[in-house]
Structure 1
Amino acid sequence: MKKVLILNGHQYYDVVARGELTQKIIDKAIEFFLKNGFEVKFTNIDKGYDISEEVEKFEWADAILFQYPVYWMGIPWIAKKYFDETFTQGKHYSNDGRSREDSLKTYGSGGLLKGKKYMLSLTYNCPKSEFNNKEGFFDGLSLDEANIATHKTFQFCGLEALKTYSMHDIFKGDLDLNKELVQFENTLKENFL
């Protein structure tokens, strides 16, 4: 696994979401991958992209790192548009997986990107304590369960999940970015080395 596509899913909003934090995380990822001998391709979705080039990047990559801020409990709409446009070109799945001839073939098993992996890297305003907490906002869901739609988007195309990284309380004012970037790099090591 030596070819990585890094997707910047940030969408710019003046004052509250200019993208500096997402860029610092991506810069750390690029540094990590290059230092460890990986080939890296990169897409900043908000800056625009060529759909056919993005299709090819997914075929080229062994792994995808998708870094994005969680907006309203999901991915920014421009990132959703990116996946809609990129994954509907007929190159990442053959069909939904089901077969009239073979009942063992189940929905979601028609992905053509099998053998490839993906990692989610998320930034949240909410505290980490809201997850895995029956009294919390997410009703006891884990971080990955609360982001199931994003996971299933990749899995439908055949990719396999790596450990998710998340940074929390980003607007609280006491974020120790250096400490967080060390934890992020440790997750990269666990997933890719």
Structure 2
Amino acid sequence: MKKVLIINGHQYYDVVAKGELTRSYIDRATKFFLENGFEVKHTEIEKGYNIEEECQKFEWADAVLLQYPVYWMGVPWITKKYFDETFTQGRHYESDGRSRSDVSKTYGSGGLLKGKKYMLSITYNCPTTEFSNPKSFFDGLSLDEANVATHKTFQFVGFEPLKTYSVHDIFKGDLDLTKELEKFENTLKENFLQK
């Protein structure tokens, strides 16, 4: 795994979401990958993209790192639109996977990007205590379960998940970004350097 596509899924909103935190993580990831001999390509969705070029990037990459803030319990709408436009039938998935002649072929198994990995890196306003807690807002869902739509988007085209990273309470006022970036880099090491 030596070719990584880093996708910036941030969407700008004045005052509350200017993108500095997302940029900090992307800069740290880029530095990490380059220092460890990876080839890196970037996509910053908000700056626009060429669909054909993005399709080629997915085919080129061994792994994808998607960095994004959670807006209304999911990816920003421009990020959802990006995947709608760039994951293309016949190129990234053959079909939904099912077969009338072979019942072992199940829904979601038609991805053509098998053997590739993806990592979600997510910024949240909610505290970590909201996950895996049956009395919380997410009704006991884990972090990954609460982000199932994003996971399944990648998995539908054949990608396999790496460990998710998340940072929480970003508006609380006491975020130790240095400490969080160290935790992020440790997750990158675990995902990309350990065999």
TM-score (norm 2): 0.98
Corresponding position of 1:14: 14
Aligned to 2:141: 141
Q: Contact between 1:8 and 1:45, CA under 8 Å: does it hold in 2?
A: yes
Post-superposition shift, 1:89? 5.1
Instruction: Tell me the amino acid that sits aligned with residue 64 of structure 2.
Output: I
- Contact 2:89 2:95 (8 Å CA) reproduced: no
Tell me whether 1:67 sits opposite 2:60 in the alignment: no
- In 1, the alpha carbon distance for the partners of 2:27 and 2:172 equals 23
For the residues of structure 2 that align with 1:189 and 1:87, how far apart are their CA atoms? Answer: 28
1:118-159 per-residue CA deviation (whole Å, 9 max, x = no partner) reads 000000000001001011110000000000000000000000
Partners in 2 of 1:108 and 1:88 — Cα distance?
14
> Following the alignment from structure 1 to structure 2, what is the Cα–Cα distance between the partners of residues 87 and 114?
14
Name the counterpart of 2:169.
169
What percentage of aligned pairs have identical amino acids?
A: 79
Give the structure 1 partner of residue 117 of structure 2.
117
The corresponding residue for 2:34 is 34
Contact 1:70 / 1:76 at 8 angstroms: preserved in 2? Answer: yes
Q: Secondary structure at the match of 2:6?
A: strand
CA deviations on 1:33-54 (whole Å, 9 max, x unpaired) are 0000000000000110000000
- Equivalence for 1:82: 82
Aligned to 2:151: 151
Answer yes or no: is 1:51 the counterpart of 2:51.
yes
| Secondary structure of 1:30's aligned partner | helix
Gaps of 5+ in 1: none
User: After the TM superposition, which parts of structure 1 deviate over 2 Å for at least 4 consecutive aligned residues?
Assistant: none
CA contact (8 A) 1:55 1:89 kept: no
Does residue 127 of structure 2 align to residue 127 of structure 1? yes
Q: Which runs of 5+ in 2 are unaligned?
A: none
Q: CA RMSD in A?
A: 0.6
Q: How many residues align?
A: 193
Task: Name the SS for the 1:41 alignment partner.
Answer: strand
